Every structure is written in structure tokens, then in C-alpha cells.
Amino acid sequence: MESLIISQMAVSGALMGLVYALIAYGFQLTFSTSKSINFGQGELVMLSAFFSLTLLDWGVPYWLMVPGGLLFGVFLGLAVERAGVRLALEQKSEGWILLTIIIGLLGFSAAENIWGRDDRPFPTPISADALQFFGVNVTPLEISVAIGVFALMGLIELFKRKTLLGKAFEAVSADRDAAELMGISATRTVMLSYGLSGLVAAMAGILVSPITTVGPTMASALILKAFSVAVVAGLDSGFGVVVIGIFLGALESLTSFYLGSGWREAPGLILLILALAVRPNGVFGKATIRKV
């Protein structure tokens, strides 16, 4: 019986971990092209979820709402790039860290003023009735999270490898200056990466909100764990985030089972600090050699 509870906790935790992995993947996208990330990514998740909920309130059918919400995410990602990241990167300063945080805070206060402070349920046609696999309960809703995460990450990876635009993306990630000499616009590629990371954030919002409800603070815990996943896996690790995300999600859910739910957030953060002590470039990261 004990082992059944443990595997139940581990499985549902791991499915939640996939959402952390997806957000962390969004960090990777922008980091690879511009060596910057959006510290307000959690607010993008939250704003996209609220926007999608509003679409549903207006009577838009669920399957039409999804592309609408994703487009809104792309728009937000581009806005963050234009307002916060571009100028700061041109100045070669680290002001973008603060700028993206401030844009996130502005987004947070906008959400509080537009949609209020309450948590709201997010209706979905996907059933939440449990199915049993080897005695472990899994809901179709949780399976939809897994499918959504893998489908989106797979599509983006395919896009990077198979299309010309995607190859430009890879070229800028590999060597910005050389790519520019080949006629690729690095600025546009950075824009593209921010758009994609906005898309990823919106997807995370739509996938997770039927499980967690929608509210201004819905993403503040998510984002910290996505940070942990991104740093532990390494920001250039590709699918490494999935492995770490699943591991962290399962670990977290087991911690809350044994130590009480208040400590739920702790293992990820402690894992982060420990992992950094051993491998500063991430578990799946490559060591970089720095030229002077």
C-alpha cells in the first residue's frame, strides 16, 4: 500500500514537473540567442491564462481559444523584447534583468486591476475523472499536460532543425557574429526567440490552469521552480530540462507527503544550490571556455 501511495505521488508530481520543464524550456530559447532571459516569464504565463479565460467567457469555443491564447503569449513575448531587452542588450549592460522584472511587476498590477485578485476556475472539456494504470490514478487532464508539453517542445525543436528560419536561429545561438556576417539578422532572431518563449509561456498557462486555477499569483511558485529546473539542467541542455523537471516534480510531491505541504517548495531550491556547487554549468550543460 505504501509503495502504491508513493508511486501515485511521484507520478502526479512528475506530470506537474513537466510544466516546470516547459517554462524552463522557454528560458533556454531566449538564452541561446541573446544570453538573456525574461525574469517576468511567470507573469506571461499568468496573463496568457487570464486572457484565455476571458476568451472562454466571451463564448469562444475551447479549441479556438487555444490558438488565441498562444498568439497573445507571442505578442507579450515580443513586447517584453522590444520594451525591456533590446536597448539594454545594445548597451551591453545587465539592466535587462531589472527591466524584465519591472515589466513583470507592471503586468502583475495590470492583471490585479483588470481581473481582480481572486483565483478563478478554468473550465476545460478534458475530463478530470481518474483512469487507473497499474493501480496508479491518472486523469486525462494530467495526460493532456504531458501531451501538450511534449508536442510543443517537439514542434519547436523540429522547427529549429528543419526550416530555414530555424537554422538561422541555431546559427545565431552558435555564433552571433558569424551568423551576422552570413546575412542573418541577429536582432530579428532574438525577437523570434522571445516570441517563441512567449508562446511556450502561454501554453504552460493554458495547460496548468485547469489544475491550479487562475489568479494573479498562480505563476509565482511555478516560475521559481522553472528557474531551478533551468539552472540545474543547464541553460543550453535541450531536453535535459525534461529529465530534471520530472525529477523535481516527483521529489516535491514526495516531500509534501512526508514533511507536510508547507515544505513543498524547499527541495527544488535546495537541489538548485547543491547542483550549482557541483556543476556550475548545469547537470546537462557544457563547460564553456572563456576567452579574454
Residues binding other proteins (CB under 8 A): 31, 35-37, 39, 83, 87-88, 91, 93-95, 97-99, 101-102, 105-106, 109-110, 113, 220, 224, 227-228, 230-231, 235, 260, 262-263, 265-266, 268-270, 272-274, 276-277, 280, 290, 292
Q: CA–CA separation, 34 vs 273, rounded Å?
A: 25
For residues 251 and 271, the answer to whether their CB atoms sit within 8 Å is yes
Three-class SS state of 276: helix
Nearer Cβ to other proteins, position 157 or 236?
236
Least distance to other proteins, CB of residue 25, Å: 15
Least distance to other proteins, CB of residue 105, Å: 7
CB-side neighbour CA atoms (13 Å) of 37? 20
Nearer Cβ to other proteins, position 71 or 101?
101
Q: CA–CA separation, 253 vs 268, rounded Å?
A: 11
Least distance to other proteins, CB of residue 128, Å: 29
CB-side neighbour CA atoms (13 Å) of 210? 18
Nearer Cβ to other proteins, position 205 or 268?
268
Nearer Cβ to other proteins, position 86 or 160?
86
Least distance to other proteins, CB of residue 120, Å: 20
Which residues lie closer than 8 Å to 231 by C-beta, 6 or more apart?
Answer: 272, 275, 276, 282
